[in-house]
Amino acid sequence: MKKTTLLKNSILERRALVVPGAHDALSAKVIENAGYEALQVSGYGLAGSYLGLPDVGLIQFKDVLEITLNIANAVNIPVMADLDTGGGNAINAAENMKKLIAGGVAGMNIEDQVFPKRCGHMSGKAVIPAHEMVGKIRACADARNELDKDFVINARTDVFAIEGLEEAIRRCNLYLEAGADLVFIDGIKSKSDVEKAVEKVKGPLSVNLMDAISGMKTELIPIPELARIGVARVSIPVASIMVAHKSLTNFFNALKSSPEGILPGETQWVCSFEEYTDFVGLKEYKKKEDKYLPEDLMDSKYRGQSEIV
């Protein structure tokens, strides 16, 4: 079954499909290895990992596309892209979406913020008129239907922080009518808000959660409870980049503060070299070398060397 079909079917089941965010191909492989059925590319994570900057619209679409396709090629589960505001007007958004479909991506998020956008849990957001966003979704849906009808369009609205829940629900229904498969009210606050949205939105609803991080606006609700309510997708968008940031910070601070400048025996900080190379597929690569490269080249390349793996 196509990845687009797998993703769409899972969303239509409205069982709170958990879709963690990845900031690069390695974090994507970790998410897949942990057993998740799908993942998304975190725009917040891309900005931090690629530029070391906040998610305020600074990363170029060509870079987003390249990293997204790397992630999609690194895993076997469906990947959703972060198209932010679409890269321009409705026509730009549709053309950019075509590149995602051609690259094997299973779905995308597109939002109704004014460019340059801001992370959904930041203050100071502004949104475009609803009819302008409807045009973007219509253009994307028409192009999607010509290429792969199962490609998932998730229409995100950031209007909750500005005008409240009723306007967010109104926009969600407009976006579903325009051709979105899934809608997302970013920054929604409480369980009662989520319940009301599920009841009044005329299609699958996505929410996002982030455990143990201060500054996030949405109440933490257990996944089984979200499934009971009827939420279709649960996004955990920024975990990978924040885990990476904390782990790197703790390790290099410990290394710097060590009197010897090393951490002998403190294996809790890192995996083994062999564990890492196994995870990224070095053994499989070497099998291909043995199969396809000339034997004399292999002999000359490795003769007299002690191989690590």
Q: What string of pLDDT tens digits covers the 309 residues of the chain? A: 999 999 999 999 999 999 999 999 999 999 999 999 999 999 999 999 999 999 888 899 999 999 999 999 999 999 999 999 999 999 999 999 999 999 999 999 999 999 776 655 556 679 999 999 999 999 999 999 999 999 999 999 999 999 999 999 999 999 999 999 999 999 898 999 999 999 999 999 999 987 545 445 678 899 999 999 999 999 999 999 999 999 999 999 999 999 888 888 888 999 999 999 999 999 999 899 888 988 887 777 765 555 555
Q: Is 267 buried (19+), middle (13-18) or exposed (0-12) by CB count in 10 A?
A: exposed
Nearest residue to 180 (alpha-carbon basis) of 97, 119, 115: 97
Asked whether the CA dihedral 55, 58, 62, 63 is positive or negative, the reply is negative
Whole-angstrom distance, CA of residue 17 vs CA of residue 48: 26
Asked whether the CA dihedral 186, 146, 203, 18 is positive or negative, the reply is negative
Write down the domain spans for the chain: 3-245, 271-309
Whole-angstrom distance, CA of residue 142 vs CA of residue 115: 23
Give CA 9 to chain center in angstroms. 18
Please give the pLDDT value at position 212. Answer: 44
CA-atom Rg of the chain in angstroms: 22
Please give the pLDDT value at position 31. Answer: 98
Q: What angle do CA 20, 25, 27 make, to 5 degrees?
A: 45
Number of H helices, E strands in the chain: 14, 8
**235 bridge partner residues:** 19, 208
**155 bridge partner residues:** 110, 183
Please give the pLDDT value at position 219. Answer: 81
Q: Across the chain, which distance is largest between two alpha carbons, in Å?
A: 72
3-state class of 1 per DSSP? Answer: coil
Whole-angstrom distance, CA of residue 206 vs CA of residue 17: 9
Whole-angstrom distance, CA of residue 250 vs CA of residue 78: 32
Whole-angstrom distance, CA of residue 119 vs CA of residue 187: 10
Residue listed under structure tokens 């993942």 = 39
The class that CATH gives domain 3-245 is alpha beta
Q: Are 230 and 182 in contact (CB under 8 A)?
A: no
What tokens appear for 272 in the block?
């083994």
Please give the pLDDT value at position 118. Answer: 60
Asked whether the CA dihedral 31, 79, 121, 163 is positive or negative, the reply is negative
Mark out the alpha helices in the chain (DSSP H runs): 3-12, 25-33, 43-46, 61-74, 90-102, 130-147, 160-163, 165-178, 191-200, 223-229, 239-257, 273-279, 282-292, 295-302
Please give the pLDDT value at position 152. Answer: 98
